[in-house]
Amino acid sequence: MGLARRVRAVSERQLMTAAQRDVAARLGTLPPLPPRGVDRFWQQVYVPVYHRLPWKLRAAVMQAMPGSHRRTWHPPEQGSGPAV
């Protein structure tokens, strides 16, 4: 797995964990386990910075990163005769 994909996967996981923590606080349920090690950096630095960025900047960063959002769909091939 390349560095960009790894960063994307970790950032998605950390943003999801932060969202789960917010929902748990709102609904009064148990939150996810507190972050440890490197996850503390992601939760205490990356997530708050990400949420403060304007949407246009976030969108530009997402477009610059490799991933499934860059794939384009090609039109289906046309059949040359009956299907039977």
Determine the pLDDT at residue 19: 94
| Amino acid symbol at 84 | V
Determine the pLDDT at residue 80: 77
**Which residues have C-beta within 8 Å of that of residue 1, sequence separation ≥ 6?**
9
Q: Is the whole-model pTM more than 0.75?
A: no
Q: Which residues of the chain have pLDDT under 70?
A: 1, 66-72
Give CA–CA dist 66/61, Å, rounded: 10
Tens digit of pLDDT for each residue in 37-60?
Answer: 999 999 999 999 999 999 999 888
Give CA–CA dist 23/32, Å, rounded: 10
Determine the pLDDT at residue 48: 93
Give CA–CA dist 58/1, Å, rounded: 23
Residue 15: its H or E element: helix 3-27
